[in-house]
Structures are given as C-alpha cells and as structure tokens.
Amino acid sequence: MKPRDLADLTLLAALWGGSFLFMRYAAPAFGAVPLMWLRATIATACLLPLLIWQGQVGTLRERIGLVTVMGLFNSAIPFVLIAWATLSITAGLASILNATVPIMTALIGALWLRDKLGVGRLAGLVIGMAGVVLLAADKADFKPGGSGWALLAMVSATLCYGFAANHTKRYLTGVPPMVNAAGSQIVSAVALTPFALWTWPAQTPEPLAWGAAVVLGIGCTAVAYVLFFRLIERVGASRAVTVTFLVPVFGTLWGALFLGETVTGAMLVGGAIVLAGTGLSTGIIRWPKRG
C-alpha cells in the first residue's frame, strides 16, 4: 500500500471513528432520528452534485428499487439505531461493537448466499461473537435506565449493515460506487424526513450541536464515502476493509479525549477479541494450516 493510500486509510478510520463522537455529543440535543436525517441530507447535498457531474443519475434511476433497499439497510435504519444507542453507551464501546460488521456480513452471506465458510472464517465468527458477549456481559441491563437495549440496537445495526453488504453483492455488483453512495443517502434523507419532522426537538440545539451534525454529514459521511470507494478502486476491497481495525481505535481515542470517557480493561480485552474474530472472518488474519 502506497503512502497516499495509507494516509487515506488512516483519515477514513479517523472520520468513521469520529462519527461515534459526534453522534454521542449531538444525539441528546437533536434526538436520534432528526440527527440522522441531517446527516443523510447534508451528505446528499455533497454527493448529488458529484453523481450529476459523473453522469450517473440515469443509472440510479434504473436501479432505484434495489438502491432503496440498500439505502434503508446500509444507512437509514442502522444510522438511527447507532445514534439512539449512543444516548446510553460510550462512543468507544459503540465503535468496538460496530467492528463486528464484517462478522455479520460473513454470517448472513453463509446463510443467504450460501457462501462457504472455511475453518478460519467459522472460527472468526465464534471468536468475534464471544468478544461481543464479553463486552455486553456486565452492561446488558434491560431495566429502565439500563444499556441493554442500546447494546441490542448496536447489534441490530451491524446485522443491517451485513444484510446490505450481501444485498449489494447479489444485486448491485458492477454498479458505479457513486451511485450506491449517493443513492443510499438520498433514500435515507427521503425515508427519514417525516419521522424527523415528527420528532424534531422543541428547543433549538446549541451551535456546537449543529456543528457536530454538519461535520457528521460532510466529513464522516460524504468525504468518508469518497475516500472508501477511492481506496477500493486503488488497493482493492480486501485491503480497504482493514479500516475496520482502525475505526475502534479512533472511536475510543476521540471519546476519551473529548468526552472524558473511561476505557476499561474489559473494553480493551473484548475489543481485541472482536478484532481478532473480524480478521479471521474476513481472511485478513489466516487460520494456521496443519502440516
């Protein structure tokens, strides 16, 4: 990987890790749905001109049904679930749990698309899920005020991402990346509009919360998508997905630096187990062969 690609990978991880920080900060002021509507709408305003400039509006129109499904499960639903979860759990913990997306992708691919799971990938699924159980063991309190529902929301969000990835693989292979990127945000913005208007906060959020929403939409979504698809084009999907290992590092770092969140030993151990499982399930870490 060239220095420029490595810089893009690091910046992408910093942006996606930062998304948990900005959601954690702004979600209490806006509410989960209005904040994610702003995120998708701002990203749409950035990506739509690029889509038009590349002359790919017609392609989006032709695939609008399939892109709608992808947009709902790759953006609208998981965005809201994660934002709602950050009302109860730390940005660091949310980013670590989000690292299970490749594990969920592999699991759904095996069940739906009959993708073969070798010993290494199967071991990765088991190890990764064990890490999730360890992280949730002392936090899965479903009583009022507990964080159990937030943890369940995070797992549900990763399942949505896993379904969307397999849906894209089956039905949208070969579609220009910008069509998927811009289309998913357009769908999300439209789908969330009535719910955002219904739940819009009665009190106007403070300027810093608005700033967090803007950075979330521009940096953590629009710019991040461009970086991610540029990495896929230059170094391939298998190398681009290594960003999964860096996002929890930045998510935990930003939460500790700017929100004063505590990084516990259980988070470090559980996070390491999740990342090991992710590495095995994606093939980045190879299971030792006999002989």
Tokens in use for 243? 């960003």
pLDDT tier, 106 (very low <50, low <70, confident <90, very high otherwise): confident
CA 61/CA 111 separation, integer angstroms: 30
pLDDT tier, 73 (very low <50, low <70, confident <90, very high otherwise): very high
Residue 81: the pLDDT is 97
Which region among 31-35, 77-81, 86-90, 198-202 has the lowest average model confidence (pLDDT)?
A: 86-90
C-alpha separations of 259 from 25, 41, 100, 216, 239 in Å? 8, 26, 24, 16, 31
Residue 146 has pLDDT above 90, yes or no: no
Greater model confidence, 258 or 237: 258
Instruction: Calculate the average pLDDT of the chain.
Output: 88
Q: Where are the domains of the chain?
A: 3-282
Residue 102: the pLDDT is 85
Residue 280 has pLDDT above 90, yes or no: no
Residue 201: the pLDDT is 96
pTM reported for the whole predicted model? 0.89
Residue 281 has pLDDT above 80, yes or no: no
CB neighbours of residue 223 within 10 Å: 18
CA 131/CA 247 separation, integer angstroms: 16
pLDDT tier, 100 (very low <50, low <70, confident <90, very high otherwise): confident
Residue 16 has pLDDT above 70, yes or no: yes
- Ranked by mean pLDDT, the top range of 43-52, 94-103, 132-141, 265-274 is 43-52
CA 182/CA 225 separation, integer angstroms: 9
pLDDT tier, 291 (very low <50, low <70, confident <90, very high otherwise): low
Average pLDDT over residues 149-162: 92
Greater model confidence, 246 or 45: 45
Contact by Cβ (8 Å): 140, 151: yes
CA 157/CA 146 separation, integer angstroms: 19
Contact by Cβ (8 Å): 31, 258: no
Residue 74 has pLDDT above 70, yes or no: yes
CA 196/CA 275 separation, integer angstroms: 34
Residue 238: the pLDDT is 59
Which region among 36-50, 92-106, 151-165, 187-201 has the lowest average model confidence (pLDDT)?
A: 92-106
Judged by DSSP in three states, 142 sits in coil
